[in-house]
């Protein structure tokens, strides 16, 4: 079974479509054994589809590459109770960064000890929720949070809250500024270079009611450069050695974060979990030998690398316009409310006409959304048949991470549902938002 999975994962490695996707003779695209056009008929559009098999295989690629480590899925990429169930059944831990994400984990029965709570500005409500559920680790991110947790733990929480200190190692992952989190002078963590990290570690150690279990860093997202992870791991081992020298304590754990890049379009680079594992294992052995430290228990936190490629979004074309310059504008019934990434990061996607055979030549077009912003563009320079028309269905791959989780109700457009597909069956994970949902909060 595993052998067979290996082969399939290798074959589709370069692909941006889910592992079970295949184009059908009639022009449709099947995912999880069901045609996307059929799903669009049954569940309406826009529609997010998640390939369960894809999510599970990505989980296994990490647990196989890092058999001794704790692999924690970063839930902010995409979280609902069904997803939490898949993650738990694959043996992964779970990162949450709010009481809301924790509520999903809790009501899905996700084991508390396998939950990590993150956030640069956790509110007292977030911290209370974390302590009352008894999460395995809280990753502290500010001095005031250390003080607040010590005060909350004074009530006699047993056992003591287990903390990691989030360190900013000063490593640039060469990614977009909005998702670069490892450099100095951004909002996350305690700077290694300024001495703030050492100060935070000292303060947690000084709090009898708190237990420091290790250090954490996360240098950013969509990183494909192994050197960046190599450098941050070396710096973090150096800090563990400094903690040992200053306090006589050998911290048992090191969390190296996530941010492993995935391709959004054919030909984009990706970070292979096994290549990452081989590099990190070597670096950790070397750096720990140099510092006469035992290799700590490692945690890694893939988010996008687990969820992104499992997702496909299906839209219906509403209008086709010829711009004054002669360009073709294909407008769909969704846009920046279900996919804010082009606007936020200049993210680029591919798109495909599905549900019918195309007749004739290729045309270059721009796929735009329905929202009242000129920047609501989903795909630039897309290729379509010349007869692209209203009513056609389009599928955009690689929308499983940071799409539904970042969705908004801009223009009071209801958020799309998320469907899980597997072996010819579809199951609703999150239902479509209704007008009633939208009006419910309007207190007027």
Ligand X SMILES: *Cc1c(COP(=O)(O)O)cnc(C)c1O
Number of other residues whose CB lies within 10 A of the CB of residue 208: 9
Q: Within positions 191 to 220, which residues make up the interface with ligand X, using CB under 6 A?
A: 218
Give the chain's length: 444
Please indicate if the annotation marks 302 as binding a ligand: yes
Least distance (Å) between residue 331 CB and ligand X: 30
Considering only 52, 95, 145, 392, the residue that binds ligand X (CB under 6 A) is 95
Considering the rule CB under 6 A, would residue 70 count as an interface residue with ligand X?
A: no
Do 47 and 39 form a contact (C-beta atoms < 8 A)?
yes
Considering the rule CB under 6 A, would residue 153 count as an interface residue with ligand X?
A: no
Q: How far apart are CA 400 and CA 264, in angstroms?
A: 11
Tokens of 353: 């006409």
The interface region with ligand X, picked from 18-26, 291-299, 303-311, 367-375 by CB under 6 A, is: 303-311
Q: Which is nearer to ligand X, 98 or 350 (CB)?
A: 98
Least distance (Å) between residue 360 CB and ligand X: 40
The interface region with ligand X, picked from 3-11, 300-308, 324-332, 429-437 by CB under 6 A, is: 300-308
Least distance (Å) between residue 218 CB and ligand X: 4
Please indicate if the annotation marks 173 as binding a ligand: no
The interface region with ligand X, picked from 5-13, 265-273, 302-310, 423-431 by CB under 6 A, is: 302-310
Q: How far apart are CA 220 and CA 234, in angstroms?
A: 17
Alpha-helical (H) ranges within 248-313 are 273-290, 304-307
Tokens of 121: 């500005």
Considering only 56, 57, 60, 76, the residue that binds ligand X (CB under 6 A) is 76
Look at phi and psi of residue 115 and say left if phi exceeds 0, alpha if psi is from -120 to 50, else beta: beta
Considering the rule CB under 6 A, would residue 270 count as an interface residue with ligand X?
A: no
What mask of x and - would describe binding to ligand X in positions 399 to 418, judged by CB under 6 A? Answer: --x-----------------
The contacts found for 246-251 with CB under 8 angstroms, 24 or more apart, are 246/198, 246/202, 247/201, 247/202, 247/205, 249/205, 249/212, 250/293, 250/294, 251/212, 251/213, 251/214, 251/215, 251/296
Q: Within positions 115 to 144, which residues make up the interface with ligand X, using CB under 6 A?
A: 118
Considering the rule CB under 6 A, would residue 92 count as an interface residue with ligand X?
A: no
Do 40 and 368 form a contact (C-beta atoms < 8 A)?
no
DSSP assigned state of 242: H
DSSP assigned state of 260: B
Considering the rule CB under 6 A, would residue 300 count as an interface residue with ligand X?
A: no
Considering only 70, 301, 338, 376, the residue that binds ligand X (CB under 6 A) is 301
Please indicate if the annotation marks 402 as binding a ligand: yes
Q: Which is nearer to ligand X, 164 or 332 (CB)?
A: 164
Q: State which H helix or E strand residue 152 sits in.
A: helix 143-153
Identify the three-state secondary structure at position 428. Answer: strand
Considering the rule CB under 6 A, would residue 58 count as an interface residue with ligand X?
A: no
Which residues belong to the active site?
372
Least distance (Å) between residue 184 CB and ligand X: 17
In sequence order, the 6+-apart residues with CB closer than 8 A to the CB of 204 are 140, 146, 163, 165, 210, 212
Site residues, ligand X (CB under 6 A): 74, 76-77, 95, 118, 218, 221, 257-260, 301-305, 401
Positions at the binding site for pyridoxal 5'-phosphate: 259, 301-304, 402
């Amino acid at each position: 079974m595993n052998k067979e999975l290996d082969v399939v994962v290798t074959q589709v490695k370069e692909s941006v479509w889910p592992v079970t996707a295949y184009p059908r003779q009639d022009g449709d695209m099947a995912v999880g054994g069901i045609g996307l056009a059929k799903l669009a008929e049954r569940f309406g559009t826009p529609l997010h589809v998640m390939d369960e098999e894809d999510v599970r295989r990505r989980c296994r690629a990490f647990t196989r590459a890092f058999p001794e480590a704790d692999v924690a899925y970063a839930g902010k990429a995409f979280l609902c109770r069904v997803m939490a169930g898949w993650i738990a059944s694959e043996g992964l831990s779970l990162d949450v960064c709010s009481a809301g994400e924790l509520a999903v984990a809790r009501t899905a029965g996700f084991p508390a000890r396998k939950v990590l709570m993150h956030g640069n500005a956790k509110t007292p409500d977030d911290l209370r929720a974390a302590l009352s559920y008894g999460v395995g680790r809280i990753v502290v991110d500010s001095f005031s949070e250390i003080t607040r947790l010590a005060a909350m733990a004074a009530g006699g929480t047993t056992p003591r809250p287990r903390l990691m200190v989030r360190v900013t190692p000063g490593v640039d992952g060469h990614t977009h500024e909005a998702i670069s989190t490892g450099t100095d002078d951004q909002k996350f963590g305690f700077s290694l270079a300024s001495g703030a990290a050492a100060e935070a570690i000292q303060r947690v150690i000084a709090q009898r009611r708190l237990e420091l279990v290790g250090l954490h860093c996360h240098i950013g997202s969509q990183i494909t450069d192994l050197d960046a992870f190599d450098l941050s791991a070396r710096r973090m081992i150096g800090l563990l050695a400094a903690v040992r020298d200053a306090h006589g304590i050998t911290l048992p754990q090191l969390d190296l974060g996530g941010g492993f890049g995935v391709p959004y379009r054919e030909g984009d680079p990706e970070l292979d979990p096994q290549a990452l594992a081989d590099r990190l294992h070597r670096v950790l052995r070397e750096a720990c030998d140099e510092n006469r430290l035992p290799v700590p228990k490692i945690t890694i936190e893939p988010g996008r690398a687990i969820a992104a490629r499992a997702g496909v979004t299906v839209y219906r074309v509403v209008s086709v316009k010829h711009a004054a310059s002669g360009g073709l504008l294909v407008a769909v019934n969704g846009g920046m409310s279900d996919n804010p990434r082009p606007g936020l990061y200049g993210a680029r996607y591919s798109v495909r006409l599905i549900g019918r055979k195309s007749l004739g030549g290729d045309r270059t077009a721009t796929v735009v959304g329905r929202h009242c912003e000129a920047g609501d563009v989903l795909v630039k320079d897309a290729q379509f048949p010349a007869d692209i028309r209203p009513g056609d269905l389009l599928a955009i791959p690689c929308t499983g991470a940071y799409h539904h989780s970042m969705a908004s109700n801009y223009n009071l457009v209801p958020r799309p549902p998320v469907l899980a597909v597997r072996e010819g069956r579809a199951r609703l994970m999150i239902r479509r938002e209704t007008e009633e949902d939208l009006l419910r909060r309007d207190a007027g």
